[in-house]
Structure 1
Amino acid sequence: MASSGSFHTNAYDVRYLTFEWHVANQNVSTNQTTINWSLRGNGANPNTWYMSGNFKVVIEGSTVYQSASRIQLTGTASVASGQFTISHDSDGHKTFSASVEAGIYYFAVNARGSGSWDLPTIARATQPTLNKTSMSFGDTITIYTPRATSTFTHTIQAGVEGKLSWTTIASNVATSDTWTLPKWWGRYLTHSTDKLLFRVLTYSGSQLIGSKDTPPVTVIATTDMAPVVNITLTDVNNFYNTYGGFVRGKSRIKATVTERLYEQAVVTTRSLVLNGITYQSSDQTSEVITSTSQRVEARVVDSRGMTGTKVVTPVVYDWYEPRITMAKANRCQANGTLDESGAYIKLEYACAVAPVNNKNQKVLSYSYKRQNQSQSTTQSIPMEMYSKTGSVIFPASGESSWEVTVTLRDSFNTSQVVVSVGTAFVLLDFHSSGKGIGVGKVAELQNTLDVSPNWDFKYKNAVMSDFVVEQGMKNNWIYRKWYSGVMELSTRKSVTVDVKNRWGSLFTSGPIAATDLTYPFVFKELPTVIVTLSPITWAGMVMAGSGQVGSTSKTGVFEVVRGLEASNANYIFNYNVVGKWK
């Protein structure tokens, strides 16, 4: 850019012309520059003159001087001078040109010259700046407008690309303005990638000079704009309303997540932790819960990057199968004094029922009958509390062995314990048919050597400590009951499954409902369950599945684990169960 300049024409002999100019002033309001210009003679031997004429000076296409008069052109002669005003382009830039011609010595034009220059730029539309590159909703921001002249004023606009067109936020601004971002503008700034834009329009009076934008501004959501999350819990097994809470071992929790989002934000991710498992959904139902300590957590992230969480710790009441912790029966006298020859039985018991918020049922009874007979007598035992220890006495002929059953029932399940009481003690007794012998007890059966259970067998100097009292097959289970109370069960189960659930570096089938088998008899306490796998089409291992756990009446669920995925894999599950039947 130049504030002055010059050029020379070609010479005749030693004489030529020089055109010179310099800026006189610039008018920012009118976007114009005024220059002073002059045309003079130049060259060697300045005092020597040449008759010259037909002078012509053109600036920006306008002839500013023209003369056919001839003068004595010395090396210092002034030909013409003046001022010329040049209008700049709308952006304040301007390149202008000038040309000169004359006839030196001759009438005809024989000297010419020209030049062009970039004038100093005239400031136009104000370039705004900001005092920050990011801001939060509700914060203030200052827009600086360093105007080129004090006569300029500004209108400031704000917008959001693709969501909010330019909106005037301030008018008649001189050099700066401070503006607060309203919270309700969140309806336009719904995503963390949305940017706030500012534009400044520069005016000279009512004339629009131009407009310029600032760099985009990042907007940060405030904590009160985070999603408000809520969790609704229901019991799909319908125990909650009855017991005032969920029930361990019985309830399945259904969790439903809802959220309230601020000013048109949308959900980007949602997670739900239920019964120790994380789901990427808003609605999930757990397996039967196995712990009284439950924590349900929902997490929602919205399009502004804000996170809302909700944690619920539901009330879960403990439940366990009715427990008969003691049941023993012995012969006695009418007053309860133990007597092997007595004509009465004393039944001693201890039991407990899970209270479940003191709303669980508790029904205790006992029944007794002669062995190998179907008819029995049943009596109730009042149960004021959820645990009870006591005894009852009832008549039982010493001529027979008796089977006594203690039954404890709650709202969910029933437990029973069966104990046997032999005949009254006699050293040796013969059956009335003459074909049976009782040793240490009354003879009850024909063709039978019936020995009192209180006696031991000794064979080859060894006492027989246990023996099988019953064995066979029931409901596809092979079973064996020992006199000591041990019961052994075994069976097999064929299963076809897909093994496709990622578990670390392995794959699982997930819990297989078909592997939760029902025992043919109820164990007195939790048995030991050993399950092995016989692969048919694919190798694999077995492990306990999540969800339905084993009990005294069922095995619980299992699942298959493999190193690679498999479809329609066939396996045989081998069950071996050992526990107490009495």
Structure 2
Amino acid sequence: MSITKGWGNGTSIGSLSGSLNIGHAADGSGSFSFGIRVRTGGGNFSGDQAVYGSGSQSSSKGLSTIPRASQPSASTGDPTAGSAFTVYTNRKSSSFTHTIYYEVRYGGNNGAHVQVASGVAGSCTVTVPESVFDSIGSSSTVPLRILCYTYSGSTQIGDVKYTDLTLHASNSMAPSISSFAITETNSSVSAKGSSITLRYLSRKVATCKATAKNGASIASVVVTNGSNSWAMPLTLSTYTSATMDMLASGHYVVTVTDSRGLKSQAEINQTYYSYSAPTVSGSASRASATGAAGSLTIKGTYWNQLSNTASITYQRNDASATKLSATASNGSVSGSVPYTDLDYQTVYRWTLTITDSFGESGSVTVTLPASVPSFWIGKTTIAINGVKLDDYVAGCFKVVSFNSTIDKAIGFKTVNVTVPDGYVLLIPAPLGAYVSGDPLVYVTDRSAVQTAATTVTVSCYTTAGSYDMTLYGWLLLVKGTWSSTPPVPQT
């Protein structure tokens, strides 16, 4: 900068003034230099000028230093306890050094400055220990302040500068699980193995021992299996579930959550089996409708793994239970039981029960109804269940048929039927009598049939018709002699 007064004839002697902005350096220091030059001379009235002499002087002066403290910053605004992050000093001079502190502004640590490092140039790493949460309780975050003291040599420059951050609890502060176990309470399953889970059969109890960290407390302990979960009561340091059943897999997971929401998990894997309960079915039949012979057929199925087997018992309603004599193999067991004492007029019921080696069972009831004999009446013979009467006991019964033409006139008609020697009529009337032709013909006066004579007279009454008719039918005779009581068959 220069200031000129000017010169020439008539220039007066006086003072000069001016202004200039002089800046400080980044470290707050500053200086300036200045100089003056003076020339003297004169002139005449005609304007001629002459220099009689000149002189100059220069100097410099320092400015007062302005404090320039460093403003810190951090590599993250959300550091995690126990993990290092970087603090930058952002210093104004390469000669500046710094002392770095942190301050947890919560609970019992509020206001306590903890020195991290001194003599720091451009940056340093900071690790806030997890223990700062010990007196904080259930909070998962805490305000954190980083403080920076700036020095030039041993002289502090300016005031302390700081930056505020949010400190987070780390995952390593989650609860500690020291033990987790799954115990089978169904003895039939545990007898097959200690690390297996069977669908429908397994009854498990989970136990877990866990401890919260850094001043937190246990908020929940939950064990899951598939889509099912069971919460454990928090009354003791070792947490025990209620009995778990209807298990969908052999994968068990326990989740322990503390008051900060931090979680820890442990898992157990067991071999899973899709067990199914045993089933049984059966049927009963008679060898003949009125005979005493018959049979009971039984078939069962069972789950064919882990050396499982099965046995079947059957019990008729009028007898005690009996084990079926059959060998179980490849998931099935079957057999047949013969009977020779089946009364055809009696209803029989059997209870069939199959039991496997896990103690599981299934039952079913089989019913054999009473037999209703079919009684067939033909023109010349009769049969029960397809067997002619005289075939039951040879010579015991005899069927005598008759066939006689009767005229079409109205009136009472008779037909004599000869009874073989040694036989008598089983009932005092013919079992059947038919007249061909006119449907108005009917048998009359059955009581007039001679039951003890060697000739049996069958009588009927005919109505008028347009043609002669035939009276035919049969009589059931039994071997024996007649008495006042019904005859007893003799063989």
| TM-score normalised by length of structure 1 | 0.42
Please tell me whether Structure 1 or Structure 2 has the larger radius of gyration of its CA atoms.
Answer: 2
**More strand, by proportion:** 1
Q: Which has the higher contact order (CA 8 A, sep 6+)?
A: 2
